[in-house]
Structure 1
Amino acid sequence: MLLAWLSFSPSVAGAQSTYTFETGEPQDTVNQFSRRLPWLAAGGATLYVGGLALLNQAWYSEKERTSFHWFNDAHEWKQLDKAGHLWGAFHESRVLVDLLRKAAVPEKKAIWYGGALGFVLQTPIEYFDGRSPEYGASLSDIAANAAGSLLVISQQLAWGENRITPKYSFHRTRYAALRPNVLGKGLSEEFLKDYNGHTYWLSVDLTKFLPKESRFPKWLNPAVGLGAEEMVYNDAEANRAIGLEAYRQYYLSVDLNWKAIPTHSKFLRSAFYVLSIFKFPTPALEYNRRKGFKAHALYF
């Protein structure tokens, strides 16, 4: 869902508060954007619906449909899928808050409406899951969507900006080949489906919490991450039957703060806005219960 929606984000990237609202926008620029807002909204809605169609084709097309039903999957995939829902809802809310603020919507309305719409946009995935015989609509997924949107709303109300940003990184693993119908066939599907290669991060804009005279680099964020491996089946016994046992991984790393890179280029601002959903590859320290601490010279 997020990947489809963010195809629209370059057109609103200039709305990022770090680039525009802290320095002020000329009134004629705001007025021009407000006049374009209906067209941008229509274009965004079209891309959003197209993104849903692509998601449906990539994830559900080979599966039969059933009547809508619920399923408790809170214990599955070491909760990495929940982290993905939070990540997606956060960035959809982020885009919408910035878009409404850019259109001169009153501050608190922009925050509450944009944040809530991010949750609304992310939630239709539950309808697809609810019609799939292998899944089911999930209350814990909906809760994770709400948490992502609330993370935007709470930060915007408290600080007028996002200082803690969920991010995503991916690397290919050997596990997808063991069950490609579920974990993906090829890079594009594994990027969405193989949770063994997913890592979700919280990247902290530390300089916003430090005194102004601090010399800590503005472009460098500390980041903590969560991953997991050996997840081929949800059922622990099925995993053990093929010699695997799922386990979590915890990471400490640094991240590139794209917002802190000064530029007058609209193209680069748009690129930085989109890139800020991903964790920049850097060295990382991993801890897991199997092998203890492990250093990665460059972690994706």
Structure 2
Amino acid sequence: MVNTINRNLHTIKTVLLTGCLSVYFMQSHAQDTAVNKKLSPDSNMVYCPEPPNAKEMKERITDPYHFSLTKKQVNNRVKIIAATNIVGYSGAMVALYSAWYKNYPQTNFHAFNDIGEWKGIDKIGHAYSAYAESKASMELWRWTGVDRKKRIWLGGMSGAFYQTVIETLDGFSSEWGWSWGDFCANIVGSGMLVSQELAWNEQRIQFKFSFHRKSYSDPSLNQRSDKIFGNSTAERFLKDYNGQTYWLSANLKSFFPASKLPAWLMVAVGTGAEGMFGANDNIGKDANGNIIFNRTDIKRYRQWYLAPDIDLSKIKTSKKGIKVALNILNIVKFPMPSLEYSNGRFKLNAITF
């Protein structure tokens, strides 16, 4: 549903940008004050001066704050992040309910099946939203200094939880309903982050997003797009499934550490769809059920892409501000040439967004 994904994408971008900015600025400050301290063996520290095994040595790299902060510092940071999550998300949900749900009739909790809508692109959008929110939340929990598994599970499942709350509100609205397809997509998105952290201590395969604004030579298609997706570029960015592409980008160096491949090189597989001017078909009706738009002559089809990509987080820089920006931008697919498969044939694209 257009309206559901619109609310979800608003939530993910707000949470993600706030979370990423917070964690990277807090990390930059903490690195100057805590990580480089020399700690005595008898102090009340989580830090152990002599790592007993290879596992702990790896965790010192992935979770440095767990070994460099006192227990008191860890507890204080946990309180800060817990309060930030509770207050921030509760406020966002109250605002969302006041601005949206209370204006529509409520009913008993119910479910509906929207699995076939928008050729599945909205479901991929749910998975991406949960993944990105979980990634931002996990980095905040990493900053607290809690142990590795707590950081992974607390942060990693946050996205699925955030999205499920919204899905529950949909379940009580007569205009929509609880969607098992959306719920499963949320779990897949968060599960993708959690499973990689548990297995590899890193995100070797990253979920990314790109967008290009669609414009048509047929005025009726532009008018239909304005009606259901919005006029502004910002609205189209959030709602227009025809212009959205979702990617899974794999870091090659992570899979082949002994190779001479650059650390920033990635290979991405993407998918999108075209020709969609309605959730299930290209027919639009007014409030009385009269057909006001009928373009069943336009084919609705999926697209698949193969393209190189750049892992912006692997670009070395001594500038903290640039490092913050690169980490935030890493959830977006870098425009690159691609090989596309759609409508039963292959073609090369000079640039794909």
TM-score bracket for the superposition, by shorter chain length: 0.7 to 0.9
Cα contact 1:282–1:298 (8 A) shared by 2: yes
Aligned to 2:61: 21
Pairing of 1:9-158 with structure 2 (within 5 A): 9=19, 10-13=21-24, 21-22=61-62, 24-25=64-65, 27-28=68-69, 32=73, 35-49=76-90, 51-52=92-93, 60=100, 64-67=104-107, 68-158=109-199
Say whether 1:230 aligns with 2:272.
Answer: no
Local SS of the residue matching 1:96: helix
Local SS of the residue matching 2:346: strand
Aligned to 1:254: 308
Deviates more, 1:1-10 or 1:60-69: 60-69
In the alignment, the residues of structure 2 paired with residue 62 and residue 173 of structure 1 have an alpha-carbon distance, to the nearest angstrom, of: 33
Question: What amino acid maps onto 1:70 in structure 2?
Answer: A
Question: What amino acid maps onto 1:116 in structure 2?
Answer: M
Q: CA 1:215/1:107 → structure 2, altered by over 3 Å: closer, same or farther?
A: same
In the alignment, the residues of structure 1 paired with residue 211 and residue 169 of structure 2 have an alpha-carbon distance, to the nearest angstrom, of: 24
Question: What amino acid maps onto 2:281 in structure 1?
Answer: A
Aligned to 1:180: 226
TM-score normalised by structure 1 residue count = 0.86
Question: What amino acid maps onto 1:92 in structure 2?
Answer: E
Question: What amino acid maps onto 1:2 in structure 2?
Answer: I
Aligned to 1:8: 18
Deviation at 1:46, TM superposition (A): 4.2
Cα contact 1:8–1:44 (8 A) shared by 2: no
Question: What amino acid maps onto 2:16 in structure 1?
Answer: L
In the alignment, the residues of structure 1 paired with residue 252 and residue 114 of structure 2 have an alpha-carbon distance, to the nearest angstrom, of: 35
Deviates more, 1:181-190 or 1:129-138: 129-138
Q: CA 1:75/1:169 → structure 2, altered by over 3 Å: closer, same or farther?
A: same
In the alignment, the residues of structure 1 paired with residue 71 and residue 327 of structure 2 have an alpha-carbon distance, to the nearest angstrom, of: 19
- Which structure 1 residue ranges, 5 or more long, are not aligned? none
In the alignment, the residues of structure 2 paired with residue 126 and residue 164 of structure 1 have an alpha-carbon distance, to the nearest angstrom, of: 27
- Which structure 2 residue ranges, 5 or more long, are not aligned? 1-10, 29-57, 216-220, 285-292
In the alignment, the residues of structure 1 paired with residue 184 and residue 167 of structure 2 have an alpha-carbon distance, to the nearest angstrom, of: 11
Question: What amino acid maps onto 1:83 in structure 2?
Answer: I
In the alignment, the residues of structure 1 paired with residue 147 and residue 308 of structure 2 have an alpha-carbon distance, to the nearest angstrom, of: 35
Deviation at 1:156, TM superposition (A): 0.7
Local SS of the residue matching 2:350: strand
In the alignment, the residues of structure 2 paired with residue 112 and residue 150 of structure 1 have an alpha-carbon distance, to the nearest angstrom, of: 10
Question: What amino acid maps onto 1:27 in structure 2?
Answer: S
In the alignment, the residues of structure 1 paired with residue 71 and residue 309 of structure 2 have an alpha-carbon distance, to the nearest angstrom, of: 32
Aligned to 2:288: none
Question: What amino acid maps onto 2:180 in structure 1?
Answer: L
Pairing of 1:210-229 with structure 2 (within 5 A): 210-212=256-258, 214-229=259-274
Deviation at 1:29, TM superposition (A): 9.0
Local SS of the residue matching 2:167: helix
Cα contact 1:236–1:245 (8 A) shared by 2: no
In the alignment, the residues of structure 2 paired with residue 173 and residue 163 of structure 1 have an alpha-carbon distance, to the nearest angstrom, of: 31
Local SS of the residue matching 2:17: coil
Picking from 241, 253, 262, the partner of 2:294 is 241
Q: CA 1:298/1:43 → structure 2, altered by over 3 Å: closer, same or farther?
A: same
Say whether 1:160 aligns with 2:214.
Answer: no
Deviation at 1:28, TM superposition (A): 4.6
In the alignment, the residues of structure 1 paired with residue 71 and residue 140 of structure 2 have an alpha-carbon distance, to the nearest angstrom, of: 11
Deviation at 1:110, TM superposition (A): 1.6
Bigger radius of gyration among the two: 2
In the alignment, the residues of structure 2 paired with residue 295 and residue 149 of structure 1 have an alpha-carbon distance, to the nearest angstrom, of: 33
In the alignment, the residues of structure 1 paired with residue 340 and residue 97 of structure 2 have an alpha-carbon distance, to the nearest angstrom, of: 34
The aligned length equals: 295
Pairing of 1:195-206 with structure 2 (within 5 A): 195-206=241-252
Percent identity between the two aligned chains = 39
